Structure 1
Amino acid sequence: LLQSLPPTTLSRLAHATVPWVEVKIDSPVLHRLIEQSERDEQNERLINRALKLGASSTIMYQCFGLAHSETALRRRL
């Protein structure tokens, strides 16, 4: 609905004196997302370290599920 409103109506809504928007954060979901992000970052660090140490494509596939082409691309980067 908001996307279809003309700019003048959106401006009136933005300056309305009555609260019409409520933001709610789901704390358990937020914490899970943060934890997943931290795990993903750790995994990226491990992948980068393995590449720096010269891990073979086979090892990269077995440990991280990276295909040969992905391993080769990451090496070039």
Structure 2
Amino acid sequence: MGEKFSVAEVAALRNELLQGGLDSFQTAELLKMFLTGRGYGISPESALDAAGRIDGTGWDVESLHKELESLALVM
């Protein structure tokens, strides 16, 4: 099975997250918008948990990509 998101998509999201100065709730909302905009779902709780985990990675593209791939629920 292939990847759900391209490296370019994830890098663009990463840049948006870095430039935004967002708190964890805003980050969770941005993650939800990213996933739903591509036809995937995510629960609010999972998005908030992921926001905390992603923040701990230093916004590494590879870690963000892995996180998004594991979070994306087919709708």
TM-score by length of 2: 0.35
Structure that is richer in strand per residue: 2
TM-score by length of 1: 0.34
Q: For the pair shown, which has the larger CA radius of gyration, 1 or 2?
A: 1
Structure with the larger RCO, 1 or 2 (CA within 8 Å, 6+ apart): 2
